[in-house]
Chains A and B, each alone.
Chain A
Amino acid sequence: MPVTPCFDPTTGSSGGVPPAVSASLYNLPMTEVDLTDGSWTLLDPDALVDTVSFAGGFNTITFNAGGATSNQRWTGTTTCTAPRWYKTLQIDGNTVTLLDPMWFVCRMQNNLLVDDFNQQNIFGTMADPTSTDTNVMGLAGGTWLRSVLANTGYGVITGNANTTFADPDTVFSHAAVMQGGGANGAATYIQYDGTNTAERAGSRNTNILAMAGTNRHLAVGVGINTDVTVINAGDQVSFSLKYIALQFAGL
């Protein structure tokens, strides 16, 4: 015959020890990215960024003249001087290290009304966002790219390579990366139409293990998507970003 606890030995209340209750993981709110809120540091070796503004959920970047160099791309090169905003990843005031098991999840939406040059942008985590060596950065996350007058391609970027798809009906996309133990796991994405119906999905292995460094950082980066793309002074990109980072105990 099973023994049924009658009292909680700590509180004396009837019914035995109550089960542990954690915060609900249902309907978790995502954090909106506002690059003007003072929490982000800009690294811009080529002085490409002129101004940044935030309105209606969209960050708008206005550029100085530049481009026409592979260094201002996020893919196809190991030297990347493209501008990026970064900060140490913290959850409830706790700094997340590269060793912590976690998930990074983000939502990306390109502003289709702004279409000045062939762009590629990123939102993810990095081991070292101050480096211009893609092998040191340890980038993994979401990406979106658009050539002028073309559909926006959404997907994921790992290291200096990406997997995307440009679907004409896609309005926004979300991406996720599993991380921990000093590594980036695979990155995956789903893109959606205006009714939240999936239009396309994909994934990419990172092959990024044993990253150097201590803490994990959030990073938002902008750049060009071909080696010959020219940015004229006053050109803009505009996008809305949200994210959530989950860190686990007890693995």
Chain B
Amino acid sequence: MAHLLVDQSAVTVQNIDSTDGTGAPFSEEGFVIPVVIPLSEMGTYLDPAFYDPAVSASPTAADSRKIARVVLDALKKAAEEP
């Protein structure tokens, strides 16, 4: 699987009033975690063999877990910092 990065030093807690990926407005206070997807890896992520939005089991559990852990590790580290 392609690798995913978090810009850990730029993680902040803010209130965001914006729109989500579907265009729906939201207002939420929370951790803002910059996720960096290298352009060189885009082909992997956009390949339907990796992720097909029409397939409920996509991406695979293993790939999903790797992605989730990158974000959750960043959240955990930020939340535990003084």
**Chain A positions near chain B (C-beta within 8 angstroms):** 70, 75-77, 120, 153, 155, 160-166, 202, 225-226
> What 0/1 readout, one digit per residue, does chain B (8-35) give for beta carbons within 8 Å of chain A?
0000111111110000011101001000
Q: Chain B, interface size: which category?
A: 10 to 19
Contact of A166 (CB < 8 Å), options: B15, B26, B32: B15
B18 and A165 contacting across the interface, CB-CB below 8 Å: no
Contact of A76 (CB < 8 Å), options: B12, B14, B27, B32: B27
A76 and B25 contacting across the interface, CB-CB below 8 Å: yes
Chain B interface secondary structure, helix, strand, loop or mixed?
strand
Bound-state CA distance A226–B27 (Å) is 9
**Distance from A121 Cβ to chain B, minimum over Cβ atoms (Å):** 13
Residue of A nearest to B34 (CB): A205
**Distance from A2 Cβ to chain B, minimum over Cβ atoms (Å):** 46
Select the residue from B12, B14, B19, B29 with max chain A CB neighbours within 10 A: B14
Bound-state CA distance A161–B15 (Å) is 11
Residues of B contacting A166 with CB < 8 Å?
15
**Distance from A26 Cβ to chain B, minimum over Cβ atoms (Å):** 30
B15 and A164 contacting across the interface, CB-CB below 8 Å: yes
Bound-state CA distance A155–B17 (Å) is 11
Residues of A contacting B16 with CB < 8 Å?
161-163
Q: A75-B25, A166-B15 are in contact. List 14 more A-B contacts (CB 8 A).
A: A70-B25, A76-B18, A76-B19, A120-B17, A155-B14, A160-B19, A161-B17, A162-B18, A163-B15, A163-B32, A164-B14, A164-B17, A202-B12, A225-B17
